[in-house]
């Protein structure tokens, strides 16, 4: 049984229109590290989704009418409550998702940072005054909230993916209906408990857990009262939502899959590059959309880098995220495990060598050994598809041009990383990389102060930073005549 300082944060009912809802139907949330039941959660259907949309729609005018500073006050309180309850929120997160407790605590702080940031930005949704095009005309531009926001989020960051969306939405004056992943609804419901305690008015923030992902998603996309869909998840589902939203011309923001390249040039600080690769690859056990998926190493440093990385892999300690010292948790489910195994099998059949790991861990369940493959080529699945697991494939390259060509040979374009010290090369490669985010001499790029998002088939829109609120506002231009 999960031990919390405040057991009321382990909420299993849905939160709609300021009320806690039970439906008579529940679904199980299990701990991926043990397979044990964590909680039975209210299972909402399409009708309940519609009711939540109605509530958000009804709450919209009053919420939008508040001043930015008033909305900032609510978000600030929400932030403070999240940080005051950081330990409990982290424990709930680890129980349902499996990441080590220290990483879960980091995620809560990261999620809360968006509430703080957008509380500040709520006061700065500026318009513009444009010199008129005729003598008797004056032109004003204001920004208004888009309206009801429908959010669909994944299991890999059960708190932060919601926080990144709800914070700019509420700051801009939008109301929010969030469908969390059916694998990790408890973190979302704990956030709803805190939203209520922060005094956020009924209907402004709703959380609708349920297993009917397709049905609920379709309702959010088709319902004319939803103005915008914001989604983080696979490119496959992102495309479905785009298609479904077309009928009502939904505004849409998508944070989709990545296939991040990580380049190590001859002039790199190799130890720093190894540190960066460890973070970029093994954080969240490889289960983030910005995880390094393909590691390209220049011929002159290839062997030395492989040796250093192999040594570092041996320092990782997979295990139950609640145990002290554990560095990587289990994979989320059997499908995730099967994908890692398939990528290794495909690569080794085509000539790659296993330099470390390569097998299921003797911890059982969905634990997998941190793995390093050398001699990987562009023809292998691991170079083309996102692995989403603890598998680092090394690919050798000779020239800068060749490395850039291989790095960009993908339909994805979320994050890219490289290590180099030559200033001209740093500029050249950063500009040539076809990604929305470039980490130069760092493996850690996520922060609320910078715009996170992808190009190509990795998505639309940006989350975080001063740009992040734009996706939740519409520009209105007023032409004042007869002056
Ligand atoms: P992941 O690989 O991260 O699980 P998915 O795109 O499958 O990515 O899932 C992300 C979120 O989208 C989850 O909350 C999931 O339940 C939801 N989802 C899955 N299929 C659909 C769908 N057809 N329509 C709407 N949401 C969906």
8 A C-beta contact, residue 321 and residue 31: no
Query: What ipTM was reported for this prediction?
Result: 0.98
pLDDT digits (tens, 9 = 90+) for 24-36: 999 999 999 999 9
Ligand 1 centroid–CA 237 distance in Å is 6
Q: Give residue 249's region: left, alpha or beta (phi > 0; psi -120 to 50).
A: left
Confidence of residue 189 (pLDDT cuts 50, 70, 90): very high
Cβ-Cβ contacts under 8 Å for 181 (sequence gap 6 or more): 153, 154, 155, 158
Q: Does 258 contact ligand 1 (Cβ within 6 A)?
A: no
Ligand 1 centroid–CA 152 distance in Å is 7
| CB neighbours of residue 399 within 10 Å | 10
Four-CA torsion 272, 276, 279, 282, nearest 10 degrees: -110
Q: Does 102 contact ligand 1 (Cβ within 6 A)?
A: no
* Mean pLDDT computed over 181-196: 98
Nearest alpha carbon, ligand 1 atom 14: 181
Whether 162 shows a pLDDT value over 90: the answer reads yes
pLDDT digits (tens, 9 = 90+) for 259-283: 999 999 999 999 999 999 999 999 9
pLDDT digits (tens, 9 = 90+) for 395-446: 999 999 999 999 999 999 999 999 999 999 999 999 999 999 999 999 999 9
Q: Which atom of ligand 1 is nearest to the CA of 388?
A: 2
pLDDT digits (tens, 9 = 90+) for 307-340: 999 999 999 999 999 999 999 999 999 999 999 9
Mutation test residue for ligand 1: of 154, 162, 412, the one with most atoms within 8 Å of CB? 154
pLDDT digits (tens, 9 = 90+) for 284-298: 999 999 999 999 999
Tell me, yes or no, if 107 is annotated catalytic. no
Cβ-Cβ contacts under 8 Å for 274 (sequence gap 6 or more): 305, 308, 309, 312
For the chain, counts of helices (H) and of strands (E):
14, 22
Q: Does 222 contact ligand 1 (Cβ within 6 A)?
A: no
Confidence of residue 121 (pLDDT cuts 50, 70, 90): very high
Please state, in angstroms and rounded to a whole number, the distance separating the CA atoms of residues 360 and 18. Answer: 45
The mean pLDDT of the chain is: 98
Of 255, 400, 448, 463, the catalytic one is 255
Ligand 1 centroid–CA 477 distance in Å is 37
Model pLDDT, residue 197: 98
Model pLDDT, residue 1: 72
pLDDT digits (tens, 9 = 90+) for 222-253: 999 999 999 999 999 999 999 999 999 999 99
Model pLDDT, residue 270: 98
Ligand 1 centroid–CA 170 distance in Å is 23
8 A C-beta contact, residue 167 and residue 194: no
Q: Which helix (H) or strand (E) holds 426?
A: helix 423-432
């Amino acid at each position: 049984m999960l031990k919390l300082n405040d057991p009321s944060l382990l909420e299993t009912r849905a939160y709609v229109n300021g009320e806690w809802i039970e439906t008579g139907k529940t679904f199980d949330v299990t701990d991926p590290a043990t397979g044990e039941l964590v909680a039975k959660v209210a299972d909402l259907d399409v009708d309940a989704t519609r009711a939540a949309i109605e509530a958000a729609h009804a709450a919209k005018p009053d919420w939008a009418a508040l001043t930015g500073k008033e909305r900032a006050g609510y978000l600030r309180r929400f932030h403070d409550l999240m940080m005051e309850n950081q330990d409990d929120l982290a424990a709930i997160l680890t129980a349902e998702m499996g990441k080590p407790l220290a990483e879960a605590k980091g995620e809560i702080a990261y999620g809360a940072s968006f509430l703080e940031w957008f509380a500040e930005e709520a006061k700065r949704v500026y318009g513009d005054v444009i010199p008129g095009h005729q003598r008797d005309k004056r032109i004003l531009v204001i920004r208004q909230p888009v309206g009801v926001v429908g959010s669909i989020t994944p299991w890999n960051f059960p708190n932060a993916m919601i926080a990144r969306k709800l914070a700019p939405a509420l700051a801009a004056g939008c109301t929010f209906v969030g469908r969390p992943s059916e694998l990790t609804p408890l973190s979302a419901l704990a956030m709803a408990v805190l939203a209520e305690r922060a005094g956020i008015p009924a209907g402004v923030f709703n959380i609708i857990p349920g297993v009917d992902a397709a049905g609920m998603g379709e309702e959010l996309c088709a319902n004319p009262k939803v103005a915008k869909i914001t989604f983080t998840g696979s490119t496959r589902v992102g495309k479905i939502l785009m298609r479904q939203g077309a009928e009502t011309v939904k505004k849409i923001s998508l944070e989709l899959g990545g296939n991040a390249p990580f380049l190590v040039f001859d002039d790199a600080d190799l130890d720093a590059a190894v540190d960066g690769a460890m973070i970029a690859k093994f954080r969240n056990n490889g289960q983030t959309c910005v995880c390094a998926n393909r590691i390209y190493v220049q011929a002159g440093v290839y062997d030395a880098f492989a040796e250093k990385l192999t040594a570092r892999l041996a320092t990782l300690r997979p295990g139950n995220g609640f145990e002290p010292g554990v560095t990587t948790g289990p994979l989320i489910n059997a499908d995730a495990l099967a994908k890692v195994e398939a990528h290794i099998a495909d690569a080794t059949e085509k000539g790659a060598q296993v330099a470390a790991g390569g097998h299921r861990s003797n911890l059982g369940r969905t634990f997998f050994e941190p793995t390093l493959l050398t001699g990987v080529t562009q023809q292998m699945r691991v170079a083309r598809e996102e692995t989403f697991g603890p598998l680092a494939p090394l690919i050798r390259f000779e020239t800068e041009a060749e490395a850039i060509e291989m790095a960009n040979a993908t339909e994805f374009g979320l994050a890219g990383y490289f290590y180099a010290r030559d200033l001209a090369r740093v500029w050249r490669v950063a500009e040539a990389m076809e990604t929305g985010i470039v980490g130069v001499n760092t493996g850690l790029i996520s922060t609320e102060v910078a715009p996170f998002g992808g190009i190509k088939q990795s998505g639309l829109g940006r989350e975080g930073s001063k740009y992040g609120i734009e996706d939740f506002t519409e520009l209105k231009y007023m032409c004042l005549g007869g002056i």
